[in-house]
Structure 1
Amino acid sequence: MFSVISNRDMRTKSEKRGSSIGENFDFVAAEKQLIELLNLENLDQQVTQVPDCTRELEAAISAAIPLAYADPSESGDDAAHRFLQRVLYRINRLNLFWYDDLSHYKNERSLYLQWVRDRIESVWQAWELGQIDVKSLQQQNVAQTLRDWYEADLNPPVTENRRFLRENLDREGYRWLLAIASLDGLVEASRMSRILGGASNEVQAMLIRVLMEEYGNGRLARKHSTFFAKMMAEMNLNTKAEGYFDLAPWQLLASINHNFLLTECKRHFLRYNGGLTYFEIVGPSIYTDYLMAAQRLNLSEESSGYWELHIREDERHGLWMLQDVALPLAEQYPDNAWEILLGYAQEKYIGDRAGNAIIQCIKQATAPLPQISLA
């Protein structure tokens, strides 16, 4: 198997130089092949014995990578981005347990899936880094910059999209917002759980404290994802996890996959916590927009309770993350502390990009989502 992977790596390099497959490549068929591969018995053995079983998937990846990531200064092809991020998500989701058929996890340690993931991630992450002025971050006073960013991001300016949410989002648009956001909202903080094991110290204790509040301190009725599901049920939406996967724009999938990467690789521990610091700081302002939309629409408390809960708790979490996680980590790792700033800046950039894409999906929706009857 290792020799097969090595040969595939060599072929990938030549494909990057010579690939000229057009934008109309059938990414849907290629994704279907990935789904079939995920369900194979002994996937790695099958790939070794029948290499053609992956041909369509690999050809699609070879076509999509240059279309999406050829130039960091360009946004790239949306269809290619969407395909690549959906492939990554389908592999990354195996890091979590979904309380479904146990056979769905039979290939979770597959070397082939690891190769596919790494092949996409290596190019994608280089493209993402191209959006950030890394050299500037490396020259900053990390502690002071974090404090300055905290003050700025507590109350960010009201943008056109924020104004749209507050003043113009209608009831169906609100349903679309919940449906798209449910890909993360119904499994909230699951990826964070992947960074908590290891040596005990004050930073670890605070991270566990934040997670426990997200998880309702072990009470399902108080778990944040339970509040999200209640909002969806009140709006006659499907409350099954991943029920609206196909609505997710690639920008949202990229945000989720980026966090999968940072939480699964401990070398990115500082980056992840920088990103989490931003997420907890800015959260109340984002949720305030959603709450204002719900109140303007005269929706019930069940339809908006998640936002109120988050506003209260994330106001604490943001300060905790700054004072008890980010700053102590910067002091403990002075030579690498700039990575905390990188994680913060990337989370802001990638999160804003995802938020803008979600708004565009809502504005471009041409039909209402099906009404799901409450049981």
Structure 2
Amino acid sequence: MLVPVPRGPLSGWLAARLLVHDDVATAPPSPAVTAHHVDALHGDDLQLALWMCYELHYQGFDDAAADLEWVTDVLTFRAELERVFVDALRAEVGPIDVRPREIPTRLFEVTSDDSGRSLSNHLQRRADRAAFAEFVMHRSVYHLKEADPHTFAIPRLRGAAKAAMIEIQADEYGGGRVERMHSTLFARLMDSLRLSTAYGEYVDCAPGITLATSNLMSMFGLHRRWRGAAAGHLAAIEMTSSLPNRRYGQGLRRLGGDDLACAFYDEHVEADAVHEQIAAHDLCGTLALDQPEVAEDIVFGAAACMRLEQLFADHLLDAWSAQRSSLLPAARRAA
């Protein structure tokens, strides 16, 4: 994967920094100043810059030096982006007050809110094959490395909470069988839709809100300070996954998908029904009792996940309602 095409001053500075392999002449622009003029959660430039920073800790870029993962100026720049991101998330989620023993109950409350528009219902019943393929292109930003962001949090946990997260993650990695890894199943789904399975292939056409859903879990996983939020985020995914994935599978079959293509969705219907209880009680409930100081972070992680997922759904549904693509226009991603 190559360094993405910049979308503004923030990603432009970072792209230059990564490609030059040396200090660039100018200081990076201020993410805080940029955030005054754009919606930080939807901002293409800000979210792409943050995604590029995080990608240095995953597969990296073929045209950037491997040792840039830990250079001071990039990490300082990333920290400023993260502050803007967290401020925007807190404004969306609002204040949180919870007692450690209430964590499982609160998680079920946070994840049971179905007042927003349903993307899974649309894909199940009404979306055409082109729209379904667009949805899969969006999701490839995360699903081709599924489980990796949350796995960063494992060494930051201890005891029963750590064991619970490992139990969940082991299933995500197919129990050690590459053909059962969820990322492998997703690549097979993409192939059935005649989409490229190359890692990072569709980042250049992914809008800011799509990148934000991926950036959220990377930020939580890469910071010990956010270990509680990482657990809450994982719990929110596991607790809200079974029904939507059942609908996605039904929608794909309606459009001609066979069992091989739908295996990714079928796997999540079964696995996440089990993971729901493990995540709420064994992971998050135990973590909150063991480390009460992260209780509010657990709920914040879950609530932030749910809010970004609704904003993502709204973006796709608004675009399709207006009979336009939910991806960035080709002119925006042309070099």
Instruction: Give the aligned partner of residue 212 of structure 1.
Output: 170
Distance across 1 between alignment mates of 2:8 and 2:45: 8
TM-score by length of 1: 0.77
Using the TM superposition, give the Cα deviation of residue 263 of structure 1 relative to its aligned residue in structure 2, in angstroms.
Answer: 1.0
Equivalent residue number for residue 37 of structure 2? 67
Q: Which amino acid aligns with 1:353?
A: L
**Residue of structure 2 aligned with 1:298, choices 252, 256, 261:** 256
Q: Is the Cα contact below 8 Å between 2:146 and 2:172 reproduced in 1?
A: yes
Tell me which residue corresponds to 1:126.
87
Question: Is the alpha carbon distance of 1:258 and 1:236 closer, same or farther for their aligned partners in structure 2, counting shifts above 3 Å?
Answer: same
CA contact (8 A) 2:47 2:212 kept: yes
Alignment of 1:275-286 (within 5 A): 275-286=233-244
Q: CA deviation at 1:39?
A: 2.4
50, 53, 58: which one aligns with 2:29: 58
1:50-93 deviation line (CA, Å, top 9, x unaligned): x33x5xx527x57522112xxxxxx5695xx1100001111111
Question: 1:34 & 1:90 partners in 2: Cα distance?
Answer: 8
Cα distance in 1 between the residues matched to 2:275 and 2:177: 19
For residues 186 and 335 of structure 1, the distance between their equivalents in structure 2, rounded to whole angstroms, comes to 33
User: 1:224 & 1:341 partners in 2: Cα distance?
Assistant: 26
Matched position secondary structure for 2:200: coil
Deviation string for 1:172-222 (max 9, x for gaps)? Answer: 111111111111111101111211126752221121111111011221111
* One-letter amino acid of the counterpart of residue 36, structure 2: P
Q: Output the CA distance in 2 between the equivalents of 1:160 and 1:166.
A: 10
Deviations 1:113-168 (A, max 9, x none): 1121122221221121111221xx21x34544532542774694684544322211
1:195 aligned onto 2:153: yes
Find the aligned partners of 1:30 and 1:196 in 2 and give their Cα distance: 31
- 2:18 & 2:140 partners in 1: Cα distance? 24
Contact (CA 8 Å) 1:249, 1:358: kept in 2 or not? no
Q: Distance in 2 between matches of 1:339 and 1:248?
A: 28
What residue number does 1:104 align with? 65
For the pair 1:364 / 2:324, whether they are aligned, the reply is yes
Aligned equivalent of 1:273, options 202, 209, 231: 231
Shift of 1:233: 0.6
Rounded to whole Å, the distance in 2 between the matches of 1:94 and 1:284 is 31
- Counterpart of 2:247 in structure 1 is 289
Residue in structure 2 matched with residue 329 of structure 1 by the alignment? 287
Alignment partners' CA distance in 2, 1:29 and 1:123: 16
Aligned partner letter, 1:290: Y
2:53 to 91, 95, 108: 91
Contact (CA 8 Å) 1:215, 1:223: kept in 2 or not? yes
| Residue in structure 2 matched with residue 116 of structure 1 by the alignment | 77
Larger Rg, first or second structure (1 or 2) = 1
**SS of residue matched to 1:290:** helix
Aligned CA distance change for structure 1 residues 103 and 58 (closer, same or farther; 3 Å)? closer
Deviation at 1:344, TM superposition (A): 1.5
Q: What SS does the corresponding residue of 2:70 show, helix, strand or coil?
A: coil
Residue 309, structure 1, aligned to residue 309, structure 2: no
Q: How far off is 1:334 after superposition?
A: 2.7
| Partner SS state of residue 194, structure 2 | coil
Task: Flag the 1:117–1:148 CA change in 2: closer, same or farther, 3 A.
Answer: closer
Q: Does the 8 A contact of 2:134 with 2:326 survive in 1?
A: no
Q: How many residues align?
A: 322
1:162-177 mapped onto 2 (5 Å cutoff)? 162-177=120-135
> Matches of 1:184 and 1:124 in 2, distance apart?
18
> Do the aligned partners of 1:166 and 1:293 also contact (CA within 8 Å) in 2?
yes
Which secondary structure does the structure 1 equivalent of 2:163 belong to? Answer: helix
- Larger relative CO (CA 8 A, sep 6+): 1 or 2? 2
CA contact (8 A) 1:271 1:343 kept: yes
Counterpart-to-counterpart distance in 2, 1:167 and 1:40: 49
Distance 1:145 1:323 in 2: 8
Superposed CA RMSD: 2.9
Tell me the equivalent position of 1:14. Answer: none
